[in-house]
Amino acid sequence: MRKLLYLTLSMALIAALTTYAMWAADRPVGHYLSDLRISLAVDQGTPADRGNLLGIQPELFPTDYQSPERLHRKLAAYLQKAQDQGLLNEKTIVVLPEHVGTWLMISGEKDELYQATTLKEAMNWLAVSNPLQFIRALISAEGGSRLDDAHLRMKAKKMAQNYQALFGGLAKEFRITLVAGSIVLPEPSVSDGTLKIGRGALYNSSVVFGRDGLPIGQPQRQMHPTFAGHDTVQAHSEHTINVVDTPAGRLGVLIGSDSWYPDNYRKLDDQGAQLVAVPAFVVGRGSWDQPWRGYKGQSTPSSVSLKAGELSEGQAWHRLTLSAQPSGSQTIAGMSVFLRGQFWDKGSAGQSFLSSNGQQFADGDARGARLLNLWL
């Protein structure tokens, strides 16, 4: 009787594990509809032969990331609209927002993940659907939030491959220089023209792709991540800023709150940067108009007198970003581009803006996807 009971339990366990393995391996592709429309919100300057900075503020949702092909379709539609309006040329630099690459972590997942109501629920589905990858990532996880670290780390190799294929492919397809927003990866680096990952800490990083689709220089790592990412994303303590040559001039990239530090602009100027791209992201619907929360866990630069609560989040971004160039700076233009959309229960804020000759130009309407263009 006992042997029969053991046999029955063993068969039930085998059946349960087999069913779970089949379920976890199944990746059905659900029905997909996405708004491909985008409007030109700001068009500043006069066309010439010096090129232009073109910001794409996309409106993205989890289903846009169900496959790299879907995300390509949406971003390519935005670029095609820009091309139809005469905004793309051999000297165009296109800027995408912060974390546009990070959400590649949810590509190729089950419908239950995209249909979740909260981010926490979606991440639970991510772990349950990829048990072996999640366990391996959890073992090597670092920082104060090991679960968040594991979620970001578990598919990092594939994320890096998709990131380069997608954004490098767009750069080559439209023959543009592309600042590919940012992506969170462990110890990212470029070797022999390929974006690769390491085994160390996670960094929020941005890669610039040239018109041939290949990375230009090394990934720019974020130096001052806000407190929202402190438990998972490592600060780049070396405070290195990469300046790369593009057909439109020398370009530097400051990710998110790195653009709040006057010293970073001095470092850019020391390297002869003429253009500055700021991929950015502000979480929380309506937070753009709420009181600014200060440097969010980082020390306030001695040259900055602005205190938390004095201005709104949006006003603080305009006060601090792209406006701290040293006197005699070679920088002629900059652009700050924000990610918009809804990721489960996490909304977003931020209204993209550009800077030219000491003046700022912003889009006053944050609805829908937007293009912001600055002729150099």
Whether 341 and 348 have beta carbons less than 8 Å apart is answered as: yes
Block residue for tokens 């931020």? 350
State the average pLDDT for the chain.
88
Instruction: Tell me what pLDDT residue 22 has.
Output: 47
When pLDDT is cut at 50, 70 and 90, the band that residue 23 belongs to is very low
Could you read off the pLDDT of 55-97 as tens digits, one per residue?
A: 999 999 999 999 999 999 999 999 999 999 999 999 999 999 9
User: Is the pLDDT at 326 greater than 80, yes or no?
Assistant: no
| CA torsion through residues 363, 365, 366, 367, sign | negative
CA distance 149 to 151: 6
Residue 22 lies in a domain: no
Residue 309 lies in a domain: yes
Could you read off the pLDDT of 95-104 as tens digits, one per residue?
A: 999 999 999 9
Whether 374 and 352 have beta carbons less than 8 Å apart is answered as: no
**Residue 46 is which amino acid?**
T
For the ranges 124-138, 220-234, 293-307, the lowest mean pLDDT is seen at 220-234
- Whole-structure pTM value: 0.90
Query: Higher confidence at residue 318 or residue 234?
Result: 318
Instruction: Tell me what pLDDT residue 16 has.
Output: 43
DSSP 294: T
Whether 326 and 269 have beta carbons less than 8 Å apart is answered as: yes
Residue 210 lies in a domain: yes
Instruction: Tell me what pLDDT residue 225 has.
Output: 84
Residue 361 lies in a domain: yes
Instruction: Tell me what pLDDT residue 175 has.
Output: 98
Which residues contact residue 117 at a Cβ distance below 8 angstroms, ignoring those fewer than 6 apart? 344, 345
Residue 96 lies in a domain: yes
For the ranges 38-42, 121-125, 282-286, the lowest mean pLDDT is seen at 282-286
Instruction: Tell me what pLDDT residue 96 has.
Output: 98
**What domain range includes position 245?**
33-375
Per-residue HEC secondary structure of 94-155 comes to EECCCCCCHHHHHCCCCHHHHCCCCHHHHHHHHHHHCHHHHHHHHHCCCCCCHHHHHHHHCC
User: Is the pLDDT at 20 greater than 80, yes or no?
Assistant: no
Could you read off the pLDDT of 144-187 as tens digits, one per residue?
A: 788 899 999 999 999 999 999 999 999 999 999 999 999 999 99
The predicted model gives 272-297 an average pLDDT of 90
When pLDDT is cut at 50, 70 and 90, the band that residue 218 belongs to is very high
CA distance 67 to 51: 32
Query: Higher confidence at residue 339 or residue 284?
Result: 339
Rounded CA Rg of the chain: 22
Query: Higher confidence at residue 354 or residue 18?
Result: 354
Whether 324 and 302 have beta carbons less than 8 Å apart is answered as: no
User: Is the pLDDT at 336 greater than 90, yes or no?
Assistant: yes
Judging by beta carbons within 10 Å of its beta carbon (0-12, 13-18, 19+), is residue 291 exposed, middle or buried? middle
Instruction: Tell me what pLDDT residue 229 has.
Output: 53
pLDDT over 70 percentage in the chain: 87
The predicted model gives 270-279 an average pLDDT of 95
Block residue for tokens 């890096």? 160
Residue 3 lies in a domain: no
The count of domains in the chain is 1
Instruction: Tell me what pLDDT residue 259 has.
Output: 94
**CATH number of the domain that residue 343 is part of:** 3.60.110.10
Instruction: Tell me what pLDDT residue 125 has.
Output: 96
Residue 49 lies in a domain: yes
Residue 104 lies in a domain: yes
pLDDT over 90 percentage in the chain: 69
What number of other Cβ atoms are within 10 A of residue 330's Cβ?
16
